[in-house]
């Protein structure tokens, strides 16, 4: 099958979440890990690579019989889906992830959150 399927959705954050944009040194009292932001809008975002990594980790816990030392050692189901760079057995990823951008900024501001930009 050579078709494409697009899966979309909404993500609801129920606990604290932080995806940092830099691991540079910060002085006392400074923000120690800036939030990832969309380049065009400067609003908080979740990179597609973070979503892909989280999904792969959850699936690895489900399908790997023992922890893999490298991603290339994951269960065949994972390497078929996410790809593999194993020497002699290179597989392309069958799944692409896009960045998620904030869509309810106005609602958050109405509830008192002020530091979106």
Position 62 scores a pLDDT of 92
Position 54 scores a pLDDT of 87
Position 73 scores a pLDDT of 84
Is the torsion defined by CA of 99, 104, 106, 109 positive or negative? negative
Mean pLDDT by 10 residues, the chain (117 residues): 77 74 56 72 85 89 86 85 85 88 80 69
Q: Where are the domains of the chain?
A: 53-102
Q: Where are the alpha helices (DSSP H) in the chain?
A: 48-63, 76-82, 105-110
* Sequence-ordered list of residues with C-beta below 8 angstroms from that of 110, at least 6 positions apart, any chain: none
């Amino acid at each position: 099958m050579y078709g494409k399927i697009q899966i979309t959705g909404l993500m609801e954050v129920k606990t604290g979440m932080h995806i940092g944009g830099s691991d540079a040194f910060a002085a006392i009292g400074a923000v120690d890990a800036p939030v990832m932001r969309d380049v065009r809008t400067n609003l908080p975002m979740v990179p597609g690579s973070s979503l892909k990594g989280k999904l792969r980790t959850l699936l690895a816990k489900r399908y790997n019989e023992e922890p893999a030392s490298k991603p290339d050692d994951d269960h065949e189901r994972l390497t078929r889906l996410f790809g593999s760079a194993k020497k002699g057995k290179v597989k392309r990823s069958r799944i692409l992830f896009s960045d998620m951008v904030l869509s309810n900024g106005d609602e958050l501001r109405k509830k008192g959150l002020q530091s979106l930009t």
